[in-house]
Chains A and B, each alone.
Chain A
Amino acid sequence: MRFMPTFVSSVGFAGIVLARSLLYFPYVLLSSRARADLFRQLYATGIRTLPVVTIVSIFMGMILSLQVGLELARFNQEIYLGAAVMLTLLREMGAFCCGICLAACVGSAIAAELGTMKVNDEIDALKIMGIPPERFLAAPRILALVMMAPIVAFYCCIMGAIGGGIVGATQLNVDFQQFMSGALWMAEGKDLFVGIGKSSVFGLLIGVISVCEGLGTRLGAVGVGKSTQRAVIVSFLAILISGYIISRIFY
């Protein structure tokens, strides 16, 4: 139980950072200077992660399609392949894939950037200048993740479906058009909205965790490495745990 005080203080710190950042969300949206920074963060979160997200989601769709297709083929039910893959993508894997990619690409970068700023006294310099780090650094990054995660998750679903369709057409004798028809037939609004909502929660968690790890960095370059590592690990755990809880609530 030695880790309990650290865990409690970390959660408390995260709560304070989240509350202060939420207070600055309107400022980030309304101030032209802060909005420019928000656009930079949106670009870093969305556009710059696209290559990784594309590859990961296409291959995830291909793996899903192959495994599910092989089982369906045993019962001559390949016509349901598109529906099964799409349902899995919309409900779980799209948001999950998006969360993992954002944690690895964006969360780690945030933790490393803020951690380096912390050990170089830049965070203290901001405080002395009267610029709250939560307003200047945390809020634009967290807001960008919350805003961009649903778009990335939706993109993951589309890319995953394309990957699944390619495997269906080339290896399981399921026509691509038939795969897509099945996918669209089974997809429901609820699945889409729960998946999208879930990805926003993942974005929020990744943002808060990464910012907190960055701002809590100590002990120079070694500390920056540790903070970056912890940001990714804790984000992965948070994605898995919160993903299950949200699924349990809605299904």
Chain B
Amino acid sequence: MSEKIIEFDSVTKSFGGKKVLDELSFSVSRGEIFVILGPSGTGKSVTLKHAIGLVEPDSGEVRRAPVRFDYLFQSGALLAWKNVWENVALPLEETMRLDEKEIEKRVSAALEAVGLSDAAEKYPAEISGGMQKRAGLARAIVREAEVVLYDEPTSGLDPVTAANIARLIRDLNRKRGVTSVVVTHDVVMASKIASRIMLVSGGKAVACLTPEEFMQSTEPEVRAFIEASRGENI
């Protein structure tokens, strides 16, 4: 049985009296790409923040394996007074004892992977939201963490860039064995890259299936989500 990297055990969380997570239980194994799908406001990002320890549950337990985690925020969360290169280099400079050459090599590789080599000298305010997100992604992968959590990595990106990002997540998993947890609305991307897909609704896990099972599921909420994503119910 493969090692569990993240385990949610009946996790409940409320904000201002509104229950966002309701006894949510699931686990992510080493080497998986675990995709969390669901409508907006159903607690997907909150789940991810629990997974990395930014939010503590009201009840239940979140267990994490003692490995290095990294996280891609929806907005990219870049520091405004540093340029793209400095933002990506920041975790290496501040937390790892690496020489300048190694830092340069890793940052160049990360920027190339997200297609931002030409924007390295630009400041966050000078690039688009999509580019900020890609720079955030470069920063999330530059430390070569064993687990990367992605909060809507492709939202706001054009289809070509979104496909490149999806491919990058899959390549990191295949080549480096990076365990990934991806929060998204993008059913097509989820079906292409996921090991398992969990649909969250009302703070509960409605389904947790392989992509093939998910796309063929007869579960009403799963069907409604798939059909809506295809534009069938417009």
Contacts and interface: CB of A to CB of B under 8 A. Distances in A.
A136 interface: yes
Q: How large is the interface on B (under 10, 10 to 19, 20 to 34, 35 or more residues)?
A: 20 to 34
Interface in A99-128: 116-117, 120-122, 124-125, 127-128
Interface string B73-111: 111011110000000001101110000000000000000
Contact of A120 (B54, B77, B90, B91): B77
B69 interface: yes
Contacts of B70: 128-129
A69 to B, nearest CB: 47
B75 A131 contact: no
Contacts of B79: 117, 122
A2 interface: no
17 contacts: A117-B80, A121-B74, A121-B75, A122-B77, A122-B78, A122-B79, A124-B49, A125-B136, A125-B139, A127-B54, A128-B54, A129-B90, A129-B91, A129-B95, A129-B139, A130-B94, A136-B94
Interface string A125-142: 101111100001000000
Interface of B: 49, 52, 54, 69-71, 73-75, 77-80, 90-91, 93-95, 136, 139, 143
A33 B90 CA distance: 11
Interface of A: 33, 116-117, 120-122, 124-125, 127-131, 136
Given A127-B54, A128-B52, A128-B54, A121 B90 contact: no
A127 B75 CA distance: 16
Contacts of B54: 124, 127-128
A45 to B, nearest CB: 16
Given A129-B90, A131-B90, A124 B95 contact: no
Nearest to A127: B54
Contacts of A128: 52, 54, 69-71
Given A124-B54, A125-B71, A131 B77 contact: no
Interface of B is mostly: mixed
B93 A33 contact: yes
Contact of A121 (B77, B80, B91): B77
5 cross-chain pairs, A with B, having the tightest CB-CB distances, nearest first = A125-B77, A129-B91, A121-B77, A130-B95, A121-B73
B132 to A, nearest CB: 10
A186 B136 CA distance: 60
Contacts, number: 44
Nearest to B149: A128
Contacts of B73: 121, 124-125
Contacts of B143: 129
Contacts of A122: 77-79
A116 B78 CA distance: 12
Contacts of A125: 71, 73, 77, 136, 139
A130 B95 CA distance: 7
A127 B139 CA distance: 14
B96 to A, nearest CB: 9
Contacts of A136: 94
A113 to B, nearest CB: 8
- With most chain A CB atoms within 10 A of its CB, the pick from B74, B91, B143 is B91
Nearest to A124: B54
Contacts of B139: 125, 129
Given A121-B75, A130-B91, 11 more contacts: A33-B93, A116-B80, A117-B79, A120-B77, A121-B73, A124-B49, A124-B54, A124-B77, A125-B73, A129-B90, A130-B95
A109 B69 CA distance: 32
A122 B77 CA distance: 5
A131 B52 CA distance: 15
B203 to A, nearest CB: 21
A117 B79 CA distance: 8
